[in-house]
Chain A
């Protein structure tokens, strides 16, 4: 065990890529878990999936067109889709979950089609390998460039600041949107802000866990926290802590064992959920 730790410490000091992996992993885990609480409560658990598939489709288009920085295309497209899905409210013709499913599968299919039809310039030439790494995250988180890291750090700090500033408004709008509207809260504006933030987080998270596993980062910490805690604040704080711890553990395991980062983090999240579920059961049993 001590050997493992000294090896890790050594990595941490001497390999910048390991440091980058931790910074990016922790920040993304933090942001996604904070938003997860409101998304789960709004019955929008699958928004992460839907939007990340949109981001995947956009990424495919960017790769085919040969954009050097595909963030320029992926980010706006995802933000627009998020706004359409989340901010349109309850009165749309197609119900929330159906439209999420529609956009999600559609973008996935078209993205895959494009990637096959027009092999990616500068890609590995191995289509299924490229597709696999965009879907499940790269096998190694260690390929992040300093630019990736800076973009992630700046955007996630922005997300955090926004979340803290809008925390009470997010609660009011999530708990009872009608009352909030009636008493003069600009619910539409806050829904829009939440949609934009979630899109940003998802595009960032794609680097770490890939499009298929983002939902896990968003919902597991929130669900775990909700098993045990009963107030919005405690659930939010607990979800954030759980998520950060799981991300760190997952990254450590994947560095030591060479497992894919995304799925390792998600596996840790699942284990923690099981533990919280048990704690919830025991606590509930004692109370009643």
Chain B
């Protein structure tokens, strides 16, 4: 059974439709890239998957032992106030909060895993640092470590590399693909079609043209899409 199935989804705000009749499914171990123009509804789709926004029509089901609240999430923007006092460790471990229920404190095991996730993201030396004093790339890795704490099996990333320089972007991609290799299903929104084609196993394109399928099918059909100019070279070569 698929980990996540969206059937005939229609999304929108206040009666205005943005995406209509969208269906796709994600299996365990997939790496799905969601691409599309600005304002095409990518972030809205992600919020709907997370249950933060309700669909106008259609439904979302999770399977394979995944609960909707067990999806790790990296928001497009985290508006943290300038003067918010929070250390890296406090933020990362807060990823476990959803699993705590009414239990007031974190367990030893959770503390250990938080440390492990910080090591994976190579931020364990920043543990005690104040979040707002970190660089954009470091902040992004902190939030990714938090997302890892919130899930065992699926990550939703909304433009994880926005605003990062090429070197840090490459690092970020390789970290994500490492997580994917370790068995985590990744759903990533990106404007970077080349990276999408390099790392992803499946592509979902929303907007005027809707496409869902494997990367190979997407490449073959690319001449139809609006990205043919960008990757034209690759297709010929």
Contact = CB atoms under 8 A, between A and B. Distances in A.
Contact of B97 (A41, A183, A232): A183
Contacts of B95: 183
Nearest to A40: B83
A61 interface: no
B153 to A, nearest CB: 13
Contacts of A226: 83, 85
A184 B90 contact: no
Q: Which of A165, A168, A169, A181 has the most CB of B within 10 A?
A: A168
A167 to B, nearest CB: 7
A234 B52 contact: no
Contacts of A166: 104
Band of interface residues on A: 20 to 34
Contacts of B100: 168-169
A286 B130 CA distance: 17
Contacts, number: 89
Nearest to B50: A182
Given A166-B104, A182-B73, A231 B97 contact: no
A228 to B, nearest CB: 10
A175 interface: yes
B84 to A, nearest CB: 6
A233 B68 CA distance: 30
A172 interface: yes
Contacts of B51: 181-182
A187 to B, nearest CB: 10
Chain A interface main SS type: helix
B75 A234 contact: no
B52 A185 contact: no
A171 interface: yes
Interface in A94-124: none
A278 B81 CA distance: 22
B70 interface: yes
22 contacts: A41-B81, A167-B104, A168-B97, A175-B86, A175-B94, A176-B78, A179-B150, A180-B94, A181-B52, A182-B47, A182-B69, A182-B71, A183-B71, A184-B69, A184-B99, A230-B85, A230-B87, A230-B129, A230-B130, A230-B133, A231-B128, A232-B90
Q: Please provide the 9 A-B residue pairs with the shortest distance between their CB atoms, ordered closest to farther.
A: A184-B69, A184-B98, A183-B98, A230-B130, A231-B87, A172-B97, A182-B50, A165-B104, A183-B150
